[in-house]
Chains A and B, each alone.
Chain A
Amino acid sequence: MELFTALIVIGGMGLVFGGLLAVAAKHFAVEEDARVETICDLLPGANCGACGFPGCISFAENVVGLKADASGCIPGGKDICDSICKVMGIDSVGSEVKKVAEISCLGSRDVAPDKFEYHGVRDCNAALAFSGGFKACKYGCLGLGTCAESCPFDALHMGDNGLPIVDRERCTACGICVKACPRDLIRIADADRTCKYVPCNSKDKGKVVREVCEVGCTGCKACVKACPQDAIVVEDSLAVIDSSKCDNCGECVDACRRSIIKDAAKVHHA
């Protein structure tokens, strides 16, 4: 008998509430796409914003709404792109190559002097408001770590010499630091490319560069002459190596009068 009442009570309550909810739910149907949640689960969840949307959820919504590309999550890379494509039922797109941030300045504190002493907020943007920055070279890294601060993946750190160091393992090539650097010294490049590059961004004339930095490119064109592949051009007194032509022969490294040409993958990386 007791068993019976129990069944009736719970069953009755279930019926009453279930019925109420069923009626209510019928009148207030809300469209939901389960794929948003699924994709959101796949994403790294750092809410870094590299995709151009204000967070992972937003990106997922836009992917489902076909407003964002499945490969949009840069930190996620190829794997996540594939998974998203699977959820969305489309063919996989996106590049295979692992990319990392690269810093194009070698002007550490000891080789690229300051023109005056700066006291105040330790932030590159803040420091630039004073006479265009305290560094004598007006293209060089100020070394106050605004880029390191901006990295959502803890992949950039300031070295003892005042230059940032990229942690290649952690770097996801999200590009936040590229935007953070007020001197545009960071770029995203293939992690494993085998070519040489010139870690300098100074467009000053050679004479000026020699005054303000020991490791700046003077645009002397010695490397241009040395390169058997014609992969190097000098524009605005700055040598640029075309990585598609470079065969990594190393002639330019020997030719460079300031010995600043390096293997691309070996600069500023931990």
Chain B
Amino acid sequence: MELNLAAIIFVAILANNIVLNQFLGVCPYLGVSKRIETSLGMGMAVVFVMTLATIVSWVIFNFILIPLDLVYLRTIAFILVIASLVQLVEIVLKKNNPTLFKALGIYLPLITTNCAILGVALLNIQMGHNIIQTVVYAIAAAIGFTMALVIMAGIRERLELVNMSGLLQGAAVTLVTAGILSLSFMGFAGIMTL
């Protein structure tokens, strides 16, 4: 059990990174990776929302959809959860913790359409995790996302000082960089398996 948790963390962050290996959350990955600071903020927001959303989705799935035999409604149910959750978080934060809201607020709307959130919630169900594994997996996946985001932001800040052909600037070079990053993360394959 304990080893299993460690494996979940390792695999979710390094070996099977949700952005670099599973292609979840690529849109914000391309969009919000221009500055290290911004990417850290986005990462924090994702950690927060992803953990909450995955837990709530898990609860709804296991305690409502399965008993009622409504598994086919999971997509609708989960997206409802996520969309509402993001808005609720936004509202609650605004009232109770304005500082945190200031830091995370601008990223929250971006998260609704971040397929990493829905993706992780769905994958989590697919892998049949229990509640503890769910929490660990969600946090680890979000940290993996943040890590990939921050690394890319560091690289892009440096590439800003480069005289690069306009054809490659922006998304093109970011994608290729992500590809090579993905290549180098392949080295972690097989170290721990689930």
Contacts and interface: CB of A to CB of B under 8 A. Distances in A.
B117 to A, nearest CB: 16
Interface residues of A, number: 14
Interface string A58-75: 000000000000000000
Nearest to A23: B91
A154 B161 CA distance: 19
A5 B68 contact: yes
B73 A6 contact: yes
B interface, over-half SS: helix
A24 B64 CA distance: 25
B69 interface: yes
Contacts, number: 39
B169 interface: no
B94 interface: yes
Contact of A9 (B73, B84, B91): B73
Contact of B69 (A2, A14, A25, A28): A2
A121 interface: no
A5 B87 contact: no
Given A14-B80, A28-B94, A28-B95, A9 B70 contact: yes
A10 interface: yes
Interface in A1-43: 2, 5-6, 9-10, 13-14, 17, 20-21, 24-25, 27-28
A126 B77 CA distance: 62
Contacts of B64: 9
Contacts of B191: none
Contacts of A20: 84, 88
B167 interface: no
A21 B65 CA distance: 23
Interface string B50-90: 00000000000000110011100100110011011001100
Contacts of B73: 6, 9-10
A2 B71 CA distance: 12
B87 A21 contact: yes
Contacts of A10: 73, 76-77, 80
A101 to B, nearest CB: 21
A9 B68 contact: yes
Nearest to A28: B91
Contacts of B84: 17, 20-21
Nearest to A2: B69
Contacts of A27: 91, 95
Contact of A13 (B80, B91, B95): B80
Nearest to A17: B84
A13 B88 contact: no
28 contacts: A2-B69, A2-B70, A5-B68, A5-B69, A5-B70, A6-B73, A9-B64, A9-B65, A9-B77, A10-B77, A13-B77, A14-B80, A17-B80, A17-B81, A17-B83, A17-B84, A20-B84, A20-B88, A21-B84, A21-B87, A21-B88, A24-B88, A24-B91, A25-B91, A27-B95, A28-B91, A28-B94, A28-B95
The 8 A-B residue pairs with the shortest CB-CB distance, nearest first, are A17-B84, A24-B91, A5-B68, A13-B80, A28-B91, A21-B87, A6-B70, A9-B70
Interface of B: 64-65, 68-70, 73, 76-77, 80-81, 83-84, 87-88, 91, 94-95
